[in-house]
Amino acid sequence: MGDEQIDAAALQSWLRAFARSVAEHKATLTALDAEIGDADHGANMDRGMTAVVAELDATEPGTTPAALLKKAGMTLVRTVGGASGPLYGTLFLRMAPAAGTADSVDAGTFAKALGAGVEGVVARGKAELEDKTMIDALTPAVEALEAGLAAGDSLQEALRAASAAADAGRDATIPLVARKGRASYLGERSIGHQDPGATSAALLVAAAASTLGVVVGG
């Protein structure tokens, strides 16, 4: 519908929900990474999101969405090891300027900001669809979000569709051959394993679906 507003408090709810989900799925993320990576994705993401929550706790009232996203991105770059820190950090850092300078953003602007973030991840990681990375979850999620809003769906409805698309993209990584990251070293032995980055990315979109469409005002 496009008139729903997302402010910094709403974004805080999203990031806190993502942090809780990462903590809950920490062992799963690590187990997936143990099969085709360094066995540290769960621990790294949990450490990073714990640091983000600490920053959120110290955030002053009146912070804009852009400032909050920038802080989250910088915190992840600083605290998360491996490839996850730069990639997730880039996602939020690229979202920040796209969110503008206002105290809140409408649903369409949020979708555009998320799209800008994903484009940043693509540029940073040099990954494409079906490379068996987080892009396989994020790209279809953005497409579903934009399509839903364009069709007149509410933000919550569009985010639910985005989450379903992210989950489908995550599951679609299982039969793929990894072409980026440490998993690519395995070649065809990476077939049959779910990508941990796509899994955490799907958690990110699911957290948005469970919070943003609920806390925003019309």
pLDDT greater than 50 at residue 89? yes
> Contact, 131 vs 179, CB < 8 A?
yes
Q: Where are the domains of the chain?
A: 5-215
More confident residue, 112 or 179: 112
Residue 71 CA, distance from chain mean position: 15
> Among residues of the chain, what percentage have pLDDT more than 90?
70
Name beta bridge partners: 106.
Answer: 5
User: Coil, strand, or helix at residue 106?
Assistant: strand
Residue 1 pLDDT: 46
Q: How far apart are the first and last CA of the chain?
A: 9
Task: Determine the Cα–Cα distance for residues 142 and 114; give it in Å rounded to an integer.
Answer: 7
Indicate whether 102 pLDDT > 60: yes
Average pLDDT on 22-28 reads 96
Collect all residues with Cβ–Cβ distance below 8 Å to 26 and sequence separation of at least 6.
Answer: 42, 43, 45, 46
Q: How many CB atoms lie within 10 A of CB 202?
A: 28
Q: Which residue has the tokens 């799925």?
A: 25
Q: Is the pLDDT of residue 8 over 50?
A: yes
Q: How far apart are CA 20 and CA 52, in angstroms?
A: 11
Q: Is residue 62 over pLDDT 80?
A: yes
pLDDT of amino acid 216: 38
pLDDT of residue 217: 40
* pLDDT-derived band at 177, boundaries 50, 70, 90: low
* pLDDT for residue 197 is more than 60: yes
For the domain covering 5-215, report its CATH number: 1.25.40.340
The pLDDT value given to residue 215: 42
